[in-house]
Amino acid sequence: MYRTHTCGELRLSDVNKQVTLAGWVQRSRKMGGMTFIDLRDRYGLTQLVFNEEVDASLCEQANRLGREFVIQVKGTVNERFSKNPNLPTGEIEIIVSELNVLNAALTPPFTIEDNTDGGDDIRMKYRYLDLRRSAVRKNLELRHKMTIEVRKYLDEQGFIEVETPILVGSTPEGARDFVVPSRMNPGQFYALPQSPQTLKQLLMVSGFDRYFQIAKCFRDEDLRADRQPEFTQIDCEMSFVEQDDIINLFEGMAKYLFKTIRGVELTEPFLRMPWAEAMKYYGSDKPDLRFGMKFVELMDIMKGHGFSVFDSAAYIGGICAEGAAHYTRKQLDQLTDFVKRPQIGAKGMVYARIEADGNVKSSVDKFYTQEVLQQMKEAFGAKPGDLILILSGEDAMKTRKQLCELRLEMGNQLGLRDKNKFALLWVVDFPMFEWSDEEGRLMAMHHPFTHPKEEDIPLLDTDPAAVRADAYDMVCNGIEVGGGSIRIHDAKLQAKMFEILGFTPERAQEQFGFLMNAFKYGAPPHGGLAYGLDRWVSIFAGLDSIRDCIAFPKNNSGRDVMLDAPGTLDQKQLDELNLVIDLKQE
Amino acid sequence: MYRTHTCGELRLSDVNKQVTLAGWVQRSRKMGGMTFIDLRDRYGLTQLVFNEEVDASLCEQANRLGREFVIQVKGTVNERFSKNPNLPTGEIEIIVSELNVLNAALTPPFTIEDNTDGGDDIRMKYRYLDLRRSAVRKNLELRHKMTIEVRKYLDEQGFIEVETPILVGSTPEGARDFVVPSRMNPGQFYALPQSPQTLKQLLMVSGFDRYFQIAKCFRDEDLRADRQPEFTQIDCEMSFVEQDDIINLFEGMAKYLFKTIRGVELTEPFLRMPWAEAMKYYGSDKPDLRFGMKFVELMDIMKGHGFSVFDSAAYIGGICAEGAAHYTRKQLDQLTDFVKRPQIGAKGMVYARIEADGNVKSSVDKFYTQEVLQQMKEAFGAKPGDLILILSGEDAMKTRKQLCELRLEMGNQLGLRDKNKFALLWVVDFPMFEWSDEEGRLMAMHHPFTHPKEEDIPLLDTDPAAVRADAYDMVCNGIEVGGGSIRIHDAKLQAKMFEILGFTPERAQEQFGFLMNAFKYGAPPHGGLAYGLDRWVSIFAGLDSIRDCIAFPKNNSGRDVMLDAPGTLDQKQLDELNLVIDLKQE
């Protein structure tokens, strides 16, 4: 060992001990004949003291140390004259008697401080230096702690962690697969799993009863902000259960984690909101319930009064921002610009202030009598000082999604989205299918193995688009942290599902034959759920992005700029794989 | 929930309870008017009883159930008349009042019993059925338990588990990489990691101090028996440590696991055997120390007596098999055939029995006087009734490896390799390099980041082949379960190492630049170790093969025969990846 103690552990009770420490030079200060160095390791900072009068050459040596040099020192623990109450080791310092430079260091390209001067690109390139910053390292410590607690909870609930393979077969439904050419099987490819979905279902057929895995998953998608080509799921599956059993067990896990990791007691059962209600009242299948501003529909009240925009609308709805009547014309114009941005796509916004006397002053006063406006006010339950914001459109669902964006923006502007407040709920009763304009067919909203709600099964033949699924998402603060479903365990129902999804029996057999065949040998009723670990850690860590809870993330082009990967292959490697690169297809 | 209890939990104290169970039909017997069914789940077996006289139609229903049907039953717990002491639930049975078939099952292609009638191929194809057998499932339960305990131990020792990426850059040293074409970076490829080696070293540069990961690793090798293209490592790295610190900590982990998982107390410190000694006395860098038969060299005694085979040999050595003098001529001929097999490659074998009167009777009596043979006997410390087996050859190292095979075979034949006995040791002081005839250069025996022994550093310039490394393997029962080394943390020493390994500075920079650059910013002294989890589980489970402690293993052609992977890609997928398959190169 190069040390007797870490840089985070010495206290007043250690005074006069002879110790050896090792770590990185965080900073150094020269004051008169004294040199002070903060020595850093993962565990903390300890102040080192060199006195020119006591040992001039040692002090001279210390003065030559640069930032981030790796050193080992021997010395005596001493009580500090001016204590630092912000530091656990702030009551002591080390009077150094011996100094060994273990490794010199170039000056880092950015400062290794919580508030660094490094931009995103340079920090990604030198990720190994960025990870020295305690602000980043703490996220990974939290991630470690969370996985320890997740495993503890699930182990105690009788779950077995089973590793499923990374080199699997390609599955066409869902996102694009990453593929791996097989040298031993020329012309053939493995795929990397988008999730262990089918394998965990096979484990249920095997009678594993309760499975989990903290599993790497891979999707070759065009990366939107805050997506990673590889990500981690807490993947779970249970047999002989119904939806309630799964929801209860994993609600228990969420509460356990909030308590052990964040010290937050969530005592109430989580709200369970049907998908249709979430869309109707929040325009989102992952509503942020840290604040209100529930949508109010205004078709009955506002339609047919000569305001052509509303008169032709398929949907008119709004939100009431409490106490925001002070918004200036400029602020309201900015909100209008916000909803008109192409990413949101509204045509305009109507607003109305509730004045001190209860009168409503709106941007469409010339079309509406105060009586109608008062009816509107009642619909919102609005009070003097409140601000009502209204959107309309020809497509109800699209307009609701626009209104959702406006609601979230207002939540941000009014400071209602506190990172230390947690609003969890389950969204349930998802539609089984959604129409894809691109594919010209119904697609599985979750995946093709999702069980329809028992009472909706007859609709599969008559009105498949109306079928609801035994599917559920856990939502925290407007973010989907996990989701799952009861699976189909009946081979006939599964075959019908593939038929609705436009698979020929041959193609279904080719792609999912192994699963459908397995089901013929005695599949139990089963269901499960998967949490996005990266996302969940980021919520616990109070981060906006998942990137900083991943040790070595990739950028938006899927590159690891530190490793400079991906890269080119030798011709020999390509030959062994029977591959030719043909960039002309670009 | 489809059940109130599992099939493993009901006892005499539950008699008269109304219960609901669910599971698979293990077997059914009809005796007179009674039908008995063993219902199975992961937790055990419970006997169900149907009585024709009580409910004929229910009994008739039960009689129609086939093996592996999935059923749910309701009924009353009853004390059994004839109890089964071998079954935890053997004192009770369920008098069934209601039976629901949850899923029918085709007759499985092999019996779901501990001793199945299924061959390897069919069991791999129907792996989901094979996993129903408790003999297989128990291995995966053990694996789960081991990873839980490993994480517990390392967490308590201050290690942080950090996930490193699966999509990384290609590293040329070592085995062949699996590669992944990048659609977003046309013509470029990711590689799957052969191990997180360089990334964990970067984490040490980052100051993570103690890292571990239970990590998937990938090697595209021609698969020898009992190798898998993807396998799992317990991967660890520590900073500010010397070899002893690492050895002590992981010896502690091994002892902890043997105690918690197997109930075996290993109280003595593990032997530390230099590599040169392991080769000299056991012909192997992973000696099986469950038994003796240490090699004895006989060059001084046996050379120069006119037996031309020995007279021309560069090595003569043998083992003494205690009490094996009863071996017949036929058995000895079989041993000779064994060592002459092409995989072993010896030219022949000399044997000598120690007779009851102490005389030595050998197969080369005509060349040696009894006096010389007695000297030989002394060298072995052989007693009457012992059998001495001798090999010779022109290449000492090759002959030692042949003698190693003979020793292990004798260990097997004499029953000295008990699976419930555990002999652990560290092999240390490995050579830094080994000569590769294929490459015509020195290769790193462990990997290019291994630190040479301090006192051997001067030899790097004069006699690199003689340099020993700060490298160590943990060996259990003749199997390497883990290994590691102190790493080079000095950029100059690392550059010299690459030079000796035949890298131009440009190529070293291209391949390992990110690591060498990182080291310039303050790398701490560090080292680590990795255990092969699959192998370790197989030892704890008493298995000969790693395959049955992997849920979904691949066969020797790297195929998953259950998933039928790898497979072909659509033309569209190939186009998107800018790839053309060219099988003519075969």
pLDDT tens per residue across span B269-301: 999 999 999 999 999 999 999 999 999 999 999
Res. A172: pLDDT tops 70: no
Query: How sure is the predictor about B586, in pLDDT bands with cuts at 50, 70 and 90?
Result: very low
Condensed to tens digits (0 to 9), the pLDDT of residues A45-60 reads 999 999 999 999 999 9
**A199 contact B CB<8A:** yes
Return the pLDDT at B396. 96
Residue in A closest to B108 by C-alpha: A521
Given a cut of 80, whether residue A171 has pLDDT beyond it is no
Residue type, A112: I
Q: Does residue A509 surpass a pLDDT of 90?
A: no
Least confident segment among A514-518, B164-168, B280-284, B389-393 = A514-518
> Rounded mean pLDDT of chain B?
94
Q: What percent of chain A has pLDDT over 70?
A: 99
The residue in chain B having the minimum alpha-carbon distance to the alpha carbon of residue A109 is B521
Residue A586 binned pLDDT confidence (cut-offs 50, 70, 90)? very low
pLDDT at B8: 97
A226-230, A422-426, B339-343, range with the lowest pLDDT: A226-230
Structural domains in chain B, CATH included, are 12-103 (2.40.50.140), 137-272+424-549 (3.30.930.10), 291-413 (3.30.1360.30)
Q: What is the mean pLDDT of residues A496-511?
A: 88
Which residues 410-469 in chain A show a CB within 8 A of chain B?
none
Whether A522 sits inside 8 A of B104 (CB atoms) is: yes
Pick A573 or B96 by higher pLDDT: B96
For the segment B212-237, what is each residue's pLDDT rounded down to a tens digit?
999 999 999 887 777 899 999 999 99
Quick one: tokens of B543? Answer: 């298995």
Q: How many residue pairs bridge chain A and chain B with CB atoms within 8 Å of each other?
A: 365
Considering Cα of A137, then A142, then A147, then A152, what sign does the dihedral take? positive
CB contact under 8 A, A569 and B189: yes
| B572 reaches A (C-beta below 8 A) | no
pLDDT tens per residue across span B232-261: 999 999 999 999 999 999 999 999 999 999
Place of tokens 């109430």: A268
Q: Does A360 touch chain B (CB under 8 A)?
A: no
Report which DSSP code applies to A20: E
Confidence label for A163 from pLDDT (cuts 50, 70 and 90): very high
Report chain B residues whose CB lies below 8 A from the CB of A551. 162-165, 199, 203
List the structure tokens of A243.
């939806």
Q: Is the CB of B24 less than 8 angstroms away from the CB of A522?
A: yes
**Shortest Cα distance, chain A CAs vs residue B180, angstroms:** 5
Test mutation, B134, B240, B536, chain A, max A CBs within 10 A: B240
Please tell me which of the candidates A104, A140, A208 has its beta carbon nearest to residue B160.
Answer: A140
The residue in chain B having the minimum alpha-carbon distance to the alpha carbon of residue A209 is B42
User: What is the average pLDDT across B3-7?
Assistant: 98
CA distances from A174 to A219, A467, B59, B214, B485 (A): 9, 20, 46, 28, 43
Residue A437: predicted pLDDT: 84
The pLDDT of residue B343: 94
Query: Is the pLDDT assigned to residue B111 strictly greater than 50?
Result: yes
Mean pLDDT of A280-308: 97
A512 touches A280 (CB < 8 A): no
pLDDT at A511: 81
Distance from CA of A66 to the nearest CA of B (A): 10
Q: Does A155 touch chain B (CB under 8 A)?
A: yes
pLDDT of residue B173: 59
Instruction: Quick: pLDDT tens for B425-468.
Output: 999 999 999 988 888 888 888 888 999 999 999 999 999 999 99
A222 touches chain B (CB under 8 A): yes
- A577 has a chain B CB within 8 A of its CB: yes
* Residues ≥6 apart with Cβ < 8 Å to A463: none
List chain B residues with CB under 8 Å of A126.
Answer: 521
Preceding peptide of A186 cis, ω within 30°: no
Helices (H) and strands (E) in chain A, counts: 17, 23
CB contacts of A523 in chain B (<8 Å) are 70, 103
- The C-alpha atoms of residue A360 and residue A351 are separated, in whole angstroms, by 10
B22-63: pLDDT as tens digits: 999 999 999 989 999 999 999 999 999 999 999 999 999 999
Q: Rounded to two decimals, what is the model's pTM?
A: 0.95
Q: Does the pLDDT at position B585 exceed 60?
A: no
Given this model, what pLDDT does residue B17 score?
Answer: 98
Q: Is the model more confident about B117 or about A413?
A: A413
Residues 466-505 (A) with a CB less than 8 A from some CB of B = 489-490
C-alpha to C-alpha distance for B6 and B25, rounded to whole angstroms:
14
pLDDT at A9: 97
Mean of pLDDT over chain A: 94
ipTM confidence: 0.94
Establish if A129 touches chain B: CB-CB under 8 angstroms: yes
pLDDT, position B199? 96
